[in-house]
Amino acid sequence: MVKDLLKTAIGRLRIVAFLEGCSYLLLGFTMILKYKFGMPQPNYVVGLAHGILFVLYVVLVLQVSFLQRWNLVKVFGAFLASLVPFGTFYADKTLFR
């Protein structure tokens, strides 16, 4: 299944969107560790991974929007999804299929 997704640009976007969404949720958990329990290291590691995944998500949205000739509303929706918790999961079900 994952092997098939890696073959297409939209498949790669779906994988990165899932990972970016997971890292966003995990970042919320590590913020609790940082500020409530004084453990900044997990937040640093997850924050770095989330930042890299976010940039990769933006690049892939641009690539797919060009290849698939998305209209501006769909492109804006894909970008907006990356800013809202659970947004990339919703975008996967509605925009990326």
What is the number of other CB atoms lying within 10 angstroms of the CB of residue 55?
Answer: 12
Domain range holding 35? 2-94
Q: Tell the burial category of 21 from Cβ atoms under 10 Å away from its Cβ (0-12, 13-18, 19+).
A: buried
Interval 34-71: pLDDT, tens: 999 999 999 999 999 999 999 999 999 999 999 999 99
61: nearest Cα among 78, 86, 77: 78
Interval 8-41: pLDDT, tens: 999 999 999 999 999 999 999 999 999 999 999 9
- pLDDT at residue 4, rounded to an integer: 76
- pLDDT at residue 5, rounded to an integer: 77
**DSSP summary character for residue 86:** T
- pLDDT at residue 63, rounded to an integer: 97
Domain total in the chain: 1
Q: Distance (Å, rounded) from C-alpha 2 to C-alpha 21?
A: 17
pLDDT band, residue 1 (cuts 50/70/90): low
Angle at the Cα of 6 from the Cα atoms of 70 and 84, rounded to 5 degrees: 55
